Amino acid sequence: MKADTYAKLIILEALIDAEIGHFLEHRPASADRFREGIVSRVSDLVDQIDALDAVAAARVYDAIVDFLAELPEDDDGVVEATLRFKRAVDRIVERGMEARDLDQPSTWAVVLDELLEELADEYHDAVKAGGEVRPREYLRAQFLLDRAREAAQRIVWTGQPKGTAELRDEMDRLYFAVRSRRLRPTEVDLLIRGPQRFAARYRPSTLSRMGSFVIGQLLRGPRSRGEGRKG
């Protein structure tokens, strides 16, 4: 599984968490319309995952269908159904991602970049001209922001890339801008650019991924040839 696919799965989980949070706080008049709202919001994301990894997309699709089909009416049942969905996503990641990749700052740079892009789009939908705030969209933006902050912190913890102190400061400014100040979307866009520039510098390029593949093949080659001679 590529880091891009992993990032999309994190975004998906954040959006589902936000949708369930909104459901629990603002009981919708129609459960069917609520389900339709979830499908409408995540369908493009599932298509994006499909373009990156068809196998992961098929498993995600099945997990979403099961989740929506078994979504009950009571709060405890809703929470338990959500937890089952999240565990299903965890299993998709476990099948597709190498553990060592989850420790790489480049992986989390991809995750951070993707989350920030999604956050910018969602925040524009959430905060309108004149200060109007749309609760459902704003809750999505908050959950995406939380995940982005966690991704940035994972980069900081590695202590490898330069400029992590600045990244932490920029993410904290963005956090307060969205969560506490509710600045205009154009102002938030400016605050997003700094962390995005940092993430872009550490995203693995196509050339670097090819290099890793070639190195891996060379490391495996002698052993394979040796085993062939023994046979």
pLDDT at 164: 87
Rg (CA), the chain: 20
11: its two tokens? 């975004």
Cβ atoms of residues 129 and 25 within 8 Å: no
Q: What is the pLDDT of residue 207?
A: 39
Crossing angle (nearest 10°) for helices 3-25 and 105-126: 40
CA atoms within 13 A on the CB side of 30: 6
Total residue length of the chain: 231
Query: Which pLDDT score, from 0 to 100, does residue 205 have?
Result: 61
pLDDT of residue 210: 38
Taking the model in full, what pTM does it have?
A: 0.85
Nearest partner of 46 among 4, 90, 89, 9, judged by Cα:
9
Contacts with 141 (C-beta within 8 Å, 6 or more apart), sequence order: 119, 122, 123, 126, 178
Give the pLDDT of residue 185.
Answer: 95
74 Cβ neighbours under 8 A, 6+ residues apart: none
CA gap 169, 167 in Å, rounded: 5
Q: Give the helix, strand, coil percentages of the chain, each rounded to 5.
A: 85, 0, 15
Per-residue pLDDT tens, the chain, 231 aa: give them: 899 999 999 999 999 999 999 999 988 778 888 889 899 999 999 999 999 999 999 999 999 999 999 888 889 999 999 999 999 999 999 998 988 888 899 999 999 999 999 999 999 999 987 889 999 999 999 999 999 999 999 998 886 777 888 999 999 999 999 999 999 999 999 999 999 999 998 877 643 443 443 434 444 454 444 444 444
What type of residue sits at position 204? P
Q: Assign 127 to helix, strand or coil.
A: strand
Q: Which residue has the tokens 């956050």?
A: 119
Q: What pLDDT is stored for residue 1 in this prediction?
A: 83
pLDDT value for 27: 84
- Report the distance separating Cα 21 and Cα 200, nearest Å: 31
pLDDT for the residue 99:
87
Measure the CA angle with vertex 9, ends 8 and 11; round to 5°.
Answer: 65
